[in-house]
Amino acid sequence: MANYTTTDLLSSIRQRGSIPTSSNSANVNNTANLLILATEELHTSLLPLLMATRAEFFVATEPSDQAITANKATYPIPSRAIGMVVRDVQIIDGTSIRSLPEVTSENISTTATGSVQGYYLQHNDVILYPTPALTSGTLRLRYYLRPNRLAATSDCAVVSAINTSTNVITVSSIPSTWVTGDIFDIVSHKAPYQCRAIDKTSTTVSGTAITLASLPSDLVVGDWIALAEYSPIPQVPFEFQPVLAQMTVVKALEALGDNDGVKRAERALDALQQKALLLVTPRNHGEPKRVVATRWRS
């Protein structure tokens, strides 16, 4: 499937809302301001719409795996988790995976260490209960990874060559503001435009070359590299890109004071949302979910 970049998104927004191009940074129809609006709509309107389908969009595990340490009960929820929400808390011991039940804090009755039986949430941390007595196993937090903020393609770079032995990525051109030590995300250029890697610190940024400590194994030419938490592609299913564009049109027309235009745009948005949701509700059009045994027999 072809790239759908923020350039395409901006074009769709302008066409849908008859919004003119403007170089005035104070105007809502300025490119940078439209991307800010689109990012806000992505996070506050489209994201809840997709999450409400309970279709496992945005579920991630990396880089949340943490070694379980004796006498340590507190483990942070990844900073990029949507709403600091966890999908599941698991303990990995060898090849065995055990999902922990959530314990209400009112039922905490001991400070003694022992074998972990559950967890509770406190602020933005997962608290294992009871506190682990041994350094053993791995804690895996399955969480919802927040889609990146939207960036202009000129503020990102396309991967043109990859050297896996030196961890050097060659790009078409590097934005002038990038320097050694910057932290990057690598975004797939194909749907669903997910991050192949996040929060990678550069050891060298020079010419058209970027050196990282390690490269994702699935990195391919054509992928994008952007500053951490930014993306030149809206990280939602391709079929929801028009929905995001129309959501942004509504907000842009509101800011421009076009009340009649807002009403027309909202009606169009309603129809787009309903049609797009039909495609993913349910997400599995085959077998229904079934309850299975918690332990597999080999």
For 293, how many CA atoms within 13 A lie in the half-sphere containing its CB? 4
Predicted local distance difference test score (pLDDT) of residue 23: 67
User: CA 228, CA 186: separation in Å to the nearest integer?
Assistant: 8
pLDDT over 50 at 8, yes or no: yes
pLDDT tens-place string over residues 200-228: 999 999 999 999 999 999 999 999 999 99
Predicted local distance difference test score (pLDDT) of residue 285: 82
For residues 20-34, give the mean pLDDT: 82
Contacts of 128 (CB under 8 A, 6+ apart): 68, 73, 74, 75, 100, 116, 118, 119, 139
pLDDT tens-place string over residues 246-290: 999 999 999 989 999 999 999 999 999 999 999 999 888 887 776
Structure-token match 């169009």, residue found: 268
Hey, is 73 helix, strand or coil? coil
The strand order across the sheet containing 74-76 reads 74-76, 125-129, 118-122
pLDDT tens-place string over residues 148-198: 999 999 999 999 999 999 999 999 999 999 999 999 999 999 988 999 999
pLDDT over 90 at 28, yes or no: no
Q: Phi and psi dihedrals of 266, rounded to 5?
A: -65, -40
Structure-token match 């995300």, residue found: 185
Predicted local distance difference test score (pLDDT) of residue 77: 96
Q: Is the pTM above the cut of 0.85?
A: yes
Asked: is 156-233 a CATH 2.40.30 domain? The reply is yes
Closest CA to 5 of 132, 246, 134, 190: 190
User: CA 256, CA 23: separation in Å to the nearest integer?
Assistant: 16
Domain ranges in the chain with CATH number 2.40.30: 156-233
pLDDT tens-place string over residues 105-155: 889 999 999 999 999 999 999 999 999 999 999 999 999 999 999 999 999
Q: Where residue 21 falls among pLDDT bands split at 50, 70, 90?
A: confident
Predicted local distance difference test score (pLDDT) of residue 251: 96
